[in-house]
């Protein structure tokens, strides 16, 4: 693949992500839904920063999916009263595995 083609593809993906987030601005559920539906593109962009950023992105998207599920499940009550989200041992291990990479940012 030519570098110019690769650059164009990356810019196209970045533009799609930017436009999607701008369209959802101000509505957390829309932003979360956009991110959930475009995980592969976001992860691909993050991987350009190196293996550490890709791992951080994957963990962050996993956490976001957990929160999205909890928010959707709680409905209006969650919005009115706040919401606690429990993390299982595997998720906690995933977060611990990327702490050093996050602290370097």
In angstroms, rounded to a whole number, what is the distance separating the alpha carbons of residues 17 and 38? Answer: 8
In angstroms, rounded to a whole number, what is the distance separating the alpha carbons of residues 18 and 2? Answer: 24
| pLDDT for res 44 | 76
| pLDDT for res 88 | 92
Query: Contact 24/33 with Cβ under 8 angstroms?
Result: yes
Domain count, the chain: 1
In angstroms, rounded to a whole number, what is the distance separating the alpha carbons of residues 38 and 22? Answer: 14
Distance of CA 9 to the CA centre of its chain: 20
What are the pLDDT tens digits along the chain (105 aa)? Answer: 454 555 566 667 667 767 776 776 667 677 777 777 887 877 777 777 766 777 888 888 888 888 888 888 887 776 677 788 889 999 999 999 888 877 776
Kindly tell me the burial class for residue 42, based on how many C-beta atoms sit within 10 Å of its own C-beta (0-12, 13-18, 19 or more). Answer: buried
- Print the domain residue range for 8: 3-104
| pLDDT for res 62 | 86
pTM recorded for the entire structure: 0.56
| pLDDT for res 3 | 47
| pLDDT for res 73 | 82
């Amino acid at each position: 693949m030519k570098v110019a083609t690769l650059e164009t593809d990356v810019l196209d993906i970045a533009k799609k992500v930017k436009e999607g987030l701008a369209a959802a601005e101000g509505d957390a559920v829309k932003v979360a839904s956009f991110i959930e539906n475009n995980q592969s593109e976001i992860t691909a962009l993050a991987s350009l920063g190196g293996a550490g950023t890709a791992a951080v992105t994957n963990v962050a998207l996993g956490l976001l999916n957990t929160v999205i599920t909890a928010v959707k499940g709680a409905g209006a009550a969650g919005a009115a009263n706040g919401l606690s989200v429990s993390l299982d041992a595997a998720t906690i291990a995933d977060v611990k595995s990327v702490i050093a990479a996050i602290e370097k940012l």
